Every structure is written in structure tokens, then in C-alpha cells.
Structure 1
């Protein structure tokens, strides 16, 4: 039986890092296409008169959304490694 403990460690690290990256950027992921003005969500019929860099805020939000999806991918990869390691361990113990 060939055991690979580093594979379990790698899977654990990927799940932890993926979860952390997701939760740090969760607001950008879950916010969707909500329209904001200076950080507060707007309702229909409201006007936004902001002289700050709104374009920069949108860029940061879209970057956060991309990084959040990257975190989801890392976590999914880690879970896949856990599952494949478990299947391989069961097959080799037969």
C-alpha cells in the first residue's frame, strides 16, 4: 500500500485557502449587479451625485468577484483531492 500523506496535507491547505479567499471576497460575489453610490445600495428612482472615483470602486469589486471565484475553485480542487485520496485508499486496502 502506497500512502501519500502530502496529498492529504495539500488537499487540506487548498480547502482552507480556498475558503478564506472566498469569504474575504464574499461581498463582491453575493452582491451581484447591485447599483451602489458611495458604498450604499441604491433603490429604483434614486440619483447618485458622487464626485469620488466610482469607476475605481467598480474595478475593485469585479476584481474581488474574480478572486472569490478563484477561491471557490481552489476549495473544490481540495475537496476533489480528499475524495480521490479516500477512493484510492479504499481500493488499495482490498
Structure 2
């Protein structure tokens, strides 16, 4: 029996029962980590304007978008307490 077979056997014992007690990480319990009901959402379309390429706005297809709490410009990198939330635009720039 291979290791992967052992893991599969453990997971198949009863998939409805939790495999461990408690959270594996402590950060979700931190007051700095927003619970699901405290988080916002992002919708819309993201465009880029590069006047040297084309005169019209272009959809920012597949662009990564970082989300952070409000603060001074540039502060998200130092004040985010290492929590980073990212999403990615679709090929047409939709979020």
C-alpha cells in the first residue's frame, strides 16, 4: 500500500466527519482577520489606458487586483499585517 493509498483510506473513512479538531491555523481568530460577513466584494470592469498603444481604453484582461483596507497611499504593504487578498479579472476585464 502506497502512502497516497493510506491518505485516501483515511479520507474515505467518513467524509462527513471532521478529520481534525479545531482550526489548523490561529490567524482566522485574530481580530485583524475579517470574518466572511465583514468582507466586501469587488464588481465591475477594469480598464487600462495606454495612449501610446491605442487611443481607447483596453480591458485589463487577466490582471491581478490586490485588495486592502483603506489607508495612506502605499500603506497597504506595511499595514496589512501580511494579509493579502487578491482576485483576477476575466479575459474581458470583469471582476
Per the normalisation by structure 1, the TM-score is 0.21
Comparing both chains, which one has the higher relative contact order based on Cα–Cα distances under 8 Å and sequence gaps of 6 or more?
A: 1
TM-score, normalised relative to structure 2: 0.21
Greater strand proportion: 2
